[in-house]
Amino acid sequence: MNLQAIADPDGNLLWAWGAIGGSVHDVKAAWIWQVPRLLREHGLFALADTAYQGLDVDLVITPCKGEGKPTRPNRVLAP
């Protein structure tokens, strides 16, 4: 089962979406529930895990993964 939710930095739930089959990848589930559209409409961005890479580079910040990743912290995440 794949559930999608967005919380603020204090852990307060902002949005939650219904369950989708567990075989659905996180990015596909986010597209199904139109997460990027909601973030954009409300002037928000999201910090997400590597499963969300490629969702929307302007709205969803994910860590680097794989070979050749930066050795210094991402300045957006660690100013």
Please state the domain count of the chain: 1
- Boundaries of domain holding 44: 15-61
Q: How far apart are CA 65 and CA 10, in angstroms?
A: 27
- Phi, then psi, of 17 in degrees rounded to 5: -120, 160
| CA-CA-CA-CA dihedral for 50, 18, 30, 72, to nearest 10 | -30
Has residue 51 been placed in a domain? yes
Q: How far apart are CA 62 and CA 55, in angstroms?
A: 10
pTM over 0.85: no
Has residue 54 been placed in a domain? yes
Has residue 32 been placed in a domain? yes
Has residue 52 been placed in a domain? yes
**pLDDT 10s per residue in the chain (79 long)?**
888 898 988 999 999 988 899 899 999 999 999 999 999 999 999 999 888 888 888 889 888 776 766 555 555 555 5
Has residue 44 been placed in a domain? yes
